[in-house]
C-alpha cells in the first residue's frame, strides 16, 4: 500500500510542476505579445519549450486539448510575424544606423556597418557583431534593429577610447624590444605581431597587477582594440623611429596566432599583418 501512495504523490507532484511551468510560460507569452513582431523569436522559443514539456509530461497536463489547439493556431501567427520582421529588419536597421552617421551595406545574411560586420541569423533570431570582415567576434545580440545599432555605437565608443598616442607607441616599442632581445635579435628585425600583442598587454597593466597579478586587477586589451590602435596611431609618433607593419604571408594567415587584421579606413577595408618592426625615421 505504501508503494502505491508514494506513486500517486509522485505523479501529483509532477502534475503540479508541469502545470506551473505551463502557466508561467503562457504568462510570459502574453507579456511578449505587447510587441509581437519585435519579440517573435522570444515567443517562438517559449512555445518550443512548451511543446517539449508537453511531449515529456502530457499525461499530467490539465486542458491539454485546448493547449494543443491553441498551439496549432498560433504557429501560423508566429510564421507570419517572423516574415514581417524579416521584411522590416533591414529597413529599420538602416534607419537606426544612418542616424549614427554610419553607412549600412551588403545583403542578408551579412551586412557591413562601417568597420563592423553584422551576421544576421533569421533561423535563430539573433545577430553576431564582428570587428572587420568577420575577423573578431565581439558579441551576439537579438534580432532587434534598434538594439543592434546601439551595440554598434557602444563598440565604436570603446574602440575610440582616448589614448595617449606618445605613451602607447613608446609602450609598443618597448614590447618590440623585449621580444627581439629574448630572441637574441637586433632592432630593425621584424617580430611576430601576436607576440607583440601579448607583451604589450602586460606592459599596459598598472602597478596593482604587477605587484599582485590577480584576475580582477587585469585590464583587458583585445585583438580588436590592438588592431584599431595600430590603425589610429601616428606611426612616426616616436620621433626618431617609425613603426612598420609587415603583411602576413599565406602560411601566417592560416591561424589566428599568425596575424592581426588592421583596418585602413573606417569603412571596413584593411589588411592582415603578421609582423612589425621599428626603423630609423627618414629625415625631414
Closest CA to 193 of 172, 210, 214: 172
Q: Taking the chain, what is the end-to-end CA distance rounded to the nearest angstrom? A: 101
Per DSSP, the three-state class of 4 is helix
Cα separation, 67 vs 86, in Å, equals: 28
Question: How many alpha carbons lie under 13 Å from residue 231 in its C-beta half-sphere?
Answer: 23
Closest CA to 81 of 146, 118, 37, 119: 37
Determine the pLDDT at residue 179: 97
Q: Which of 128-154 are b and which e, b meaning 16 or more Cβ less than 10 Å from the residue's Cβ?
A: bbbbbeebbebeebebbbeebbebbee
Burial class of residue 21, CB neighbours in 10 A (0-12, 13-18, 19+)? middle
The DSSP bridge partners found for residue 276 are 191, 245
Please compute the mean of the pLDDT values over residues 191-200 and round it to a whole number. Answer: 96
pLDDT tens digits along 86-96: 888 989 999 99
Question: Would you say 259 and 272 are in contact if contact means Cβ atoms under 8 Å apart?
Answer: yes
Alpha-carbon dihedral 49, 52, 58, 62, rounded to 10 degrees: 10
The set of cell numbers assigned to 161 is 577610447
**Helix, strand, coil distribution of the chain in percent, nearest 5:** 55, 20, 25
Cα separation, 43 vs 151, in Å, equals: 23
Cα separation, 226 vs 159, in Å, equals: 9
Task: Assess whether pLDDT exceeds 70 at residue 3.
Answer: no
Enter the pTM of the model: 0.80
Determine the pLDDT at residue 283: 60
The set of cell numbers assigned to 116 is 563592423
Please compute the mean of the pLDDT values over residues 165-190 and round it to a whole number. Answer: 94
Closest CA to 243 of 226, 266, 257: 226
Please compute the mean of the pLDDT values over residues 209-221 and round it to a whole number. Answer: 93
Helices 40-57 and 64-98 pack at an angle, to 10 degrees, of 160
Please compute the mean of the pLDDT values over residues 155-159 and round it to a whole number. Answer: 95
Task: Assess whether pLDDT exceeds 90 at residue 15.
Answer: no
pLDDT tens digits along 269-279: 999 999 999 99
Cα separation, 135 vs 262, in Å, equals: 10
Closest CA to 118 of 92, 145, 99: 145
Amino acid at each position: 500500500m505504501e508503494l502505491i501512495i508514494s506513486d500517486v504523490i509522485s505523479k501529483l507532484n509532477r502534475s503540479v510542476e508541469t502545470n506551473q511551468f505551463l502557466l508561467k510560460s503562457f504568462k510570459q507569452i502574453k507579456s511578449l505579445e505587447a510587441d509581437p513582431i519585435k519579440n517573435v523569436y522570444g515567443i517562438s522559443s517559449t512555445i518550443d519549450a512548451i511543446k517539449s514539456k508537453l511531449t515529456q509530461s502530457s499525461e499530467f497536463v490539465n486542458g491539454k486539448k485546448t493547449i494543443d489547439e491553441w498551439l496549432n493556431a498560433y504557429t501560423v501567427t508566429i510564421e507570419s510575424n517572423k516574415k514581417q520582421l524579416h521584411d522590416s529588419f533591414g529597413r529599420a536597421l538602416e534607419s537606426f544606423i544612418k542616424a549614427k552617421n554610419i553607412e549600412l551595406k551588403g545583403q542578408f545574411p551579412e551586412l557591413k556597418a562601417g568597420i563592423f560586420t553584422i551576421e544576421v541569423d533569421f533561423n535563430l533570431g539573433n545577430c553576431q557583431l564582428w570587428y572587420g570582415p568577420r575577423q573578431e567576434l565581439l558579441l551576439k545580440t537579438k534580432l532587434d534593429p534598434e538594439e543592434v545599432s546601439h551595440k554598434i555605437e557602444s563598440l565604436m565608443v570603446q574602440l575610440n577610447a582616448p589614448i595617449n598616442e606618445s605613451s602607447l607607441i613608446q609602450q609598443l616599442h618597448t614590447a618590440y624590444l623585449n621580444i627581439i632581445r629574448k630572441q637574441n635579435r637586433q632592432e630593425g628585425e621584424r617580430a611576430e605581431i601576436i607576440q607583440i600583442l601579448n607583451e604589450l598587454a602586460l606592459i599596459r597593466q598598472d602597478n596593482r597587477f604587477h605587484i599582485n597579478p590577480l584576475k580582477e586587477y587585469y585590464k583587458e586589451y583585445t585583438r580588436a582594440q590592438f588592431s584599431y590602435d595600430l590603425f589610429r596611431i601616428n606611426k612616426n609618433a616616436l620621433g626618431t623611429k617609425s613603426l612598420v607593419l609587415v603583411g602576413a604571408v599565406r602560411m601566417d594567415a592560416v591561424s589566428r596566432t599568425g596575424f592581426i587584421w588592421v583596418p585602413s579606413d573606417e569603412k571596413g577595408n584593411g589588411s592582415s599583418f603578421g609582423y612589425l618592426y621599428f626603423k630609423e625615421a627618414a629625415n625631414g
